[in-house]
A and B are shown apart, each in its own frame.
Chain A
Amino acid sequence: MGEGRTGGLWTPQTRALTVGLVLTITFVASEALAVVTVMPSPVILAGCACTAGCSARSCWAA
Chain B
Amino acid sequence: MLGSVVGIVAAGREADRRGPAVPFVAALILFASGLAIAGLAPSMEVLVGGRVLQGMGAGAVPSVAYAVIGRSFPGPLQARMMAVLSTAWVVPGVAGPALAAGVAHLFGWRWVFLGLLPVVAVAGSIAMPALIRLGPPASGQVQEHRLIYGIAVAACATMLLAGLTLVAGSGAVLVGGALIAAGVAGGLPALRRLVPPGTLTARRGLPATILSRGLLTFAFFGADAYVTLAITAVRHLSPVVAGIAVTGATLGWTAGAWVQARLSETWEGPRFVRTGLVIILAGIAGMVLVLQPTVPVAEGLVAWTVAGLGMGLAYAPLSLMMLRKAPPGGEGRASASLNLADVLGTAIGIGVGGAAVAAGAGGNLAMGIAAAFAAAAAVGVVALVITRRLPPGTTASPPPAAQPVPARVPDHEGQR
Interface residues of A (CB under 8 A from B): 1, 3-9, 11-14, 16-39, 42-44, 46-62
Question: Which residues from A are CB-within-8-Å of B72?
Answer: 14, 17
Q: Is the CB of A49 within 8 A of B347?
A: yes
Of A1, A18, A54, most B-chain CB atoms within 10 Å:
A18
A14 to B130, CA, bound (A): 8
B52 within 8 A of A: yes
Q: A25-B88, A57-B250 are in contact. Are A49 and B96 (CB under 8 A)?
A: no
- A interface: dominant SS: helix
Question: Which residues from A are CB-within-8-Å of B92?
Answer: 26, 29-30, 32-34
B149 within 8 A of A: no
Size of the B side of the interface (Cβ < 8 Å), in residues, is: 96
What's the least CB distance linking A39 to chain B, in Å?
A: 7
Partner-contacting stretch, out of B61-69, B185-193, B266-274, B279-287: B61-69
Q: Mark B87-116, 1 if CB is under 8 A from A, else 0.
A: 011011100111111011000010011001
Question: 13 new A-B pairs (CB below 8 Å) besides A20-B126, A55-B246?
Answer: A3-B415, A6-B80, A17-B130, A20-B130, A26-B89, A28-B57, A29-B96, A31-B54, A49-B1, A49-B347, A50-B1, A51-B157, A52-B347
A-B contacts, 16 of them at CB < 8 A, read A4-B415, A7-B416, A8-B415, A11-B412, A16-B127, A20-B124, A20-B130, A24-B65, A28-B31, A29-B89, A29-B92, A32-B92, A35-B51, A42-B48, A53-B225, A62-B65
Question: Which residues from B are CB-within-8-Å of A12?
Answer: 410
Q: A43-B47, A49-B346, A55-B225 are in contact. Are A9 and B77 (CB under 8 A)?
A: yes
Question: Which residues from A are CB-within-8-Å of B120?
Answer: 24, 27-28
- Which of the residues A16, A21, A35, A49 comes within 8 Å of B85, measured between beta carbons? A21
A21 to B217, CA, bound (A): 23
Q: Which residue of chain B has the shortest Cβ distance to A54 in the bound complex?
A: B225
What's the least CB distance linking A22 to chain B, in Å?
A: 5
- Which of the residues B58, B88, B350 comes within 8 Å of A32, measured between beta carbons? B58
Q: Is the CB of B123 within 8 A of A23?
A: yes
Q: Is the CB of A56 within 8 A of B93?
A: yes
Q: Is the CB of A16 within 8 A of B123?
A: no
**Which 3 A/B pairs are nearest by Cβ-Cβ distance?**
A20-B127, A13-B410, A34-B100
Q: Which residue of chain B has the shortest Cβ distance to A32 in the bound complex?
A: B58
Question: Which residues from A are CB-within-8-Å of B347?
Answer: 49-52
Question: Which residues from A are CB-within-8-Å of B116?
Answer: 27, 30-31
B253 within 8 A of A: yes
Interface residues of B (CB under 8 A from A): 1, 3-5, 28, 31, 34-35, 38, 44, 47-49, 51-52, 54-55, 57-59, 61-62, 65, 68-69, 72-74, 76-77, 80-81, 84-86, 88-89, 91-93, 96-101, 103-104, 109, 112-113, 116, 119-120, 122-131, 157-158, 161, 165, 217, 221, 224-225, 227-228, 246, 250, 253, 258, 261-262, 315, 342-343, 346-347, 350-351, 353-354, 409-412, 414-416
- B interface: dominant SS: helix
A19 to B85, CA, bound (A): 10
Q: Is the CB of A50 within 8 A of B346?
A: yes
Question: Which residues from A are CB-within-8-Å of B81?
Answer: 9, 18, 21
Question: Which residues from A are CB-within-8-Å of B73?
Answer: 8-9, 14
What's the least CB distance linking A31 to chain B, in Å?
A: 6
Q: Is the CB of B54 within 8 A of A56?
A: no
Q: Which residue of chain A has the shortest Cβ distance to B98 in the bound complex?
A: A37
What's the least CB distance linking B340 to chain A, in Å?
A: 10
Q: Is the CB of B51 within 8 A of A56?
A: no
Q: Is the CB of B62 within 8 A of A60?
A: yes
Question: Which residues from B are CB-within-8-Å of A33?
Answer: 92-93, 96-97, 100
Q: Is the CB of B96 within 8 A of A34?
A: yes
Q: Is the CB of A21 within 8 A of B65?
A: yes
Question: Which residues from A are CB-within-8-Å of B228?
Answer: 55
